Amino acid sequence: MKLRIALTRKVWFTAFGVGLLLALGWVATQRGPLAPINVTVTQVVTGDVSPVLFGIGTVEAQRAYLIGPTAAGRVKRVLVDVGETVKAGQLLAEMEPVDLDTRVASSMASASSGRSAVTAAEAQQRDARSRQALATTEVTRSVALGRQGLLSQSDVDGKLQEQKSADAQVAAAVAALSGARRDLVRLEAEIGGAQQQRGNMRLSAPVDGVVTSRDAEPGSTVVAGQAVLKLIDPASLWVRTRLDQSRSAGLREGLPAQITLRSSAQGAVVGTVARLDPSSDSVTEERIAQVAFASVPAGLSTGEMAEVIVRLPTVSGALLIPNAALRQLGAHSGVWLHDDGHLRFVRVTTGAEGQDGMVQVVEGLNAGNEVVVYSQRDLAVGSRIKVVTSLVETAK
Kindly report the number of other CB atoms within 10 A of residue 139's CB atom. 19
**CA 96 – CA 249 distance, rounded (Å):** 56
φ and ψ at residue 172, rounded to 5 degrees: -65, -40
Whole-number pLDDT of residue 16: 57
pLDDT at residue 304 tops 70? yes
Per the model's pLDDT, the better-predicted residue between 105 and 154 turns out to be 154
Give the residue from 262, 210, 264, 254 showing the smallest Cα distance to 236: 210
pLDDT at 30: 47
Q: What is the pLDDT of residue 254?
A: 92
Q: What pLDDT, on the 0 to 100 scale, is given for residue 208?
A: 93
Identify the CATH class of 65-94+204-231. mainly beta
Band (pLDDT 50/70/90 cuts) for residue 247 is confident
Arithmetic mean of pLDDT, 76-101? 86
pLDDT tens-digit profile of 44-55? 999 998 888 899
Report whether pLDDT(341) > 70.
Answer: yes
Where do the domains of the chain lie? 34-51+316-395, 53-61+233-313, 65-94+204-231, 100-200
- Average pLDDT of the residues in 124-137: 84
Cβ pair 246, 68 in contact under 8 A: no
| Structure confidence at residue 211 as a pLDDT band (50, 70, 90) | very high
Q: Answer whether residue 300 shows pLDDT above 70.
A: yes
Q: What is the mean pLDDT of the chain?
A: 83
Confidence of residue 179 (pLDDT cuts 50, 70, 90): confident
pLDDT at 7 over 70: no
Answer yes or no: are the C-beta atoms of 206 and 88 closer than 8 Å: yes
Phi, psi of 79 (to 5 degrees): -100, -10
Q: Which pLDDT score, from 0 to 100, does residue 27 have?
A: 46
pTM attached to this predicted model: 0.59
User: CB-side exposure of 257: number of CA atoms within 13 Å?
Assistant: 35
What pLDDT shows up at residue 117? 83
- 62/332 Cα distance (integer angstroms): 41
SS3 384: coil
List, in sequence order, the alpha helices (H) in the chain.
Answer: 2-30, 100-147, 153-200, 391-395
Fold held by 34-51+316-395:
2.40.420
Amino acid at 195: Q
Residue 348 CA: distances (Å) to CA of 283, 352, 361, 371:
25, 13, 7, 12
Question: Could you report the per-residue pLDDT of 260-276, keeping only the tens digit for each?
Answer: 998 877 788 999 999 99
- Better pLDDT: 262 or 247: 262
The whole-angstrom separation of Cα 360 and Cα 314 is 11
Residue pair 334/345 in contact by the 8 Å Cβ criterion: yes
Confidence at residue 125, expressed as pLDDT on a 0 to 100 scale: 85
User: CA 53: distance to chain centroid?
Assistant: 19
* pLDDT score of 29: 47
Say if residues 40 and 338 touch (Cβ distance below 8 Å): no
| pLDDT tens digits along 136-175 | 888 788 877 777 777 777 777 777 787 888 888 888 888 8
What does the alpha-carbon distance between residue 169 and residue 174 come to, in Å, rounded to a whole number? 9
Q: Residue 55 phi/psi, 5° resolution?
A: -145, 160
Query: Given a cut of 50, is residue 28 above it in pLDDT?
Result: no
Instruction: Quickly state the pLDDT bin for 26 (edges 50, 70, 90).
Output: very low
Give me the pLDDT at residue 100, please: 60
Mean pLDDT of 321-346: 87
Indicate if the pLDDT at residue 249 is higher than 50. Answer: yes
Which tens digit of pLDDT belongs to each residue from 307-324?
999 988 888 889 999 988
Burial class (CB in 10 A: 0-12, 13-18, 19+), 49: buried
Of 45, 58, 50, give the one whose Cα is nearest residue 305.
Answer: 58
CA distance 29 to 187: 105
pLDDT over 50 (residue 205):
yes
Q: HSE, CB side, 13 Å, CA atoms: give it for residue 115.
A: 6
Tell me the C-alpha distance between 307 and 252, whole Å. Answer: 18
Superfamily of domain 53-61+233-313: Efflux pump adaptor protein, beta barrel domain (2.40.30.170)
What average pLDDT does this structure show over 351-359?
A: 84
Determine the distance from the C-alpha atom of residue 111 to the mean position of all C-alpha atoms in its chain, rounded to a whole number.
48
% of the chain at pLDDT higher than 70: 86
Provide the pLDDT for residue 145: 77
